[in-house]
Structure 1
Amino acid sequence: MFPIRKADSTFKKEARIMQNYLIIYNGTAGKSDNETIAKKAQQVLHQAGKNVDLAATSSEKDAIKQAKASTSRYDCLVTIGGDGSINTACSGFLKAGQSIPLGIIPGGTVNNFARALKIPLSTDKAIQNLIDGSPAKVDLATIGDTPMVSSLTLGRLADISKNVKQDERRKFGTMIYLFKGIKELFTNRSYKLKIDANGTIETLRAQILLITTTNSVGGYVAFNPDATYDDDYLHVFLLKKFTLPKIMTYGAFFLSGNLKNARGVKYIKCQQIRIENLSSRKIKTRIDGDPAMALPITVKVKADFLKILLPK
């Protein structure tokens, strides 16, 4: 069952008074139809009596700047894209020290965050949700000043993602990760990590580490039924071995929503975790699908920081 979202009189008031919207989109995306989508959303919002500005961003830095400025000038920020685009908007919110309601028009390959929050994947329905939806409190994870809206990986999951090219994602969709994953099976790479969470420090080896803030990973929304987008927790999975026989086991537990109960999987539910690298080689992370910083890192939950427009 989809969780009951947090609501209060302030949020109901916000939903009523949202009048001024800013839509940001990547203006350098080549063949992307983001500009067409942005103009369509602007037209629909205008017809609903809203004031709408468009901002075609030239870089990630520009998008962050626009998102930061929006918190003092607009009632709602709208972003077009996948988890990476949402992450960029949240970077602006963090720099501003506050957020405003965020509307999402999914446009990525997987759209994991949108799926987890049941935001319509259809462009037309997502645009209509900008009018009909209401703001809900949603947790945001942070690594210093860097936001994490959906997931953080290191180990083989990060290695697989690193080896997937943008044109391959467009051509093959999520299946490309399976093909790359099979190839990755023929390596024997594990990482020695120091984990500090919930007052306990331990050293262990793992081939995969995954941190999520929702019940979804890779667009599969039944991955962890115990997690919700507003439960104020990080959900951490460490897979000690990643071999062909283990994939079959992990796959069965994954599809049933019980991965945390599989043998060889360590699950940690926490509000803060520090991960240090005890291996001789550098270990980099991927956040919301994009390359990010190397270990050590400290991940924290910023509870209820976001206000996402969700369907009623």
Structure 2
Amino acid sequence: MRSYLIMYNGTAGKSDNEAIAKKAQRVLSEADKSVDVVATGSEKEAVQQAASATTTHDCLVTIGGDGSINTACKGFLKAGNSIPLGIIPGGTVNNFARALKLPLDPDQAILTLLDSQPAKVDLATIGNIPMVSSLTLGRLADISQNVKQDEKRRFGVLIYLFKGLKELFTNRSYKLKITANGRSETLRAQILLITTTNSVGGNVAFNPDATYDDDFLHVFILKEFTLPKIMTYGAFFLSGNLKNARGVKYLKCKQIQIENLSSRDIKTRIDGDPAMALPITVRIKADFLRVLLPRKANSKND
């Protein structure tokens, strides 16, 4: 790869994005690479830049968390094609980067761009909307909805635990119709989670059976989310056995349709950001992405 486009959110406020971008540009240029840098002023501009990069550059580099990676993937989907994607983590949780075993330190991530290999990585889609890491709905999404950006920056993942404890005092459930693997089922649930990797909330041991290139969606449906249950779920979550916990339904599929049978709207969150309401159909787009990973980190070749 000879030409790189480094893209970052120019409206992120108090961030080191610009300094990181300039350092990455310097390091790549010193390695005799052609490098362009763009600070985007809106998501629409970022999507267009990513789409255009598929015909003008050999590699797109993003600086940020799962939301920034998601925006780049929107551009790839718009173009109907992808180019190798370099990731310099800069989010609060960096769930996707953790799942791919990428360095979280910006300096190390920049060096990885020079000593890496593109690995095929799955992408989930809801129509033309990408999902790089996770989709949630129900009370887990309600918790995230109550977390503000400045709270995420100040407290990190701990803010989710605090907001979650407050949510435990409600007992809201949702009636859903789930269609996957040729079967339909109607059920009540308090949380539904879909992932494309082994990592959730930065816990890379969440689902040891999943990999970023296994060509499957991994679906967890929690029927209860009460104080006694959260203690049990927490232990199973940390040990990587949540799918074996009582009250948890686990599905492994390439496509899932989720319909709302409740009277109130049910909204989703994708890669940590607010997204569309039900109904939705989520599909796996196997090996659509090519992400620059440290050498010997390609799971299909391990």
> If the TM-score is normalised by the length of the shorter chain, which range does it land in?
over 0.9
- One of 106, 129, 133 as aligned partner of 2:89: 106
1:5 counterpart residue number:
none
2:175 counterpart residue number:
192
Aligned residue pairs total 295
1:208 counterpart residue number:
191
Give ranges in structure 2 of 5+ residues lacking alignment: 296-302
2:209 counterpart residue number:
226
TM-score by length of 2: 0.97
1:161 counterpart residue number:
144
Superposition deviation, residue 279 in structure 1: 0.1
Give ranges in structure 1 of 5+ residues lacking alignment: 1-17
CA distance in 2, matches of 1:32, 1:251: 32
Question: What amino acid is the match of 2:213?
Answer: D
The answer on 1:279 being equivalent to 2:242 is no
Q: Which runs of 4+ in 1 moved over 3 A?
A: none
- One of 149, 161, 167 as aligned partner of 1:178: 161
2:290 counterpart residue number:
307
Bigger CA drift: 264-273 or 22-31? 22-31
Superposition deviation, residue 42 in structure 1: 0.1
CA distance in 2, matches of 1:81, 1:230: 22
Superposition deviation, residue 274 in structure 1: 0.1
Question: What amino acid is the match of 2:253?
Answer: C
Give CA-to-partner distance per residue, 1:227-249, whole Å, 9 cap, x none.
00000000000000011110111
Question: What amino acid is the match of 1:174?
Answer: V
CA distance in 2, matches of 1:133, 1:120: 12
- One of 105, 108, 114 as aligned partner of 1:125: 108
- One of 221, 234, 244 as aligned partner of 1:251: 234
CA distance in 1, matches of 2:148, 2:124: 26
Give CA-to-partner distance per residue, 1:80-119, whole Å, 9 cap, x none.
0000000000000000000000000000000000000001
Give CA-to-partner distance per residue, 1:59-80, whole Å, 9 cap, x none.
0000000000000010000000
Taking only the aligned residue pairs, the percentage that are identical comes to 81
The answer on 1:44 being equivalent to 2:27 is yes
1:21 counterpart residue number:
4
CA distance in 2, matches of 1:150, 1:65: 22
CA distance in 2, matches of 1:30, 1:260: 39
The answer on 1:34 being equivalent to 2:6 is no
TM-score by length of 1: 0.94
RMSD (Å), alpha carbons: 0.4
Superposition deviation, residue 29 in structure 1: 1.5
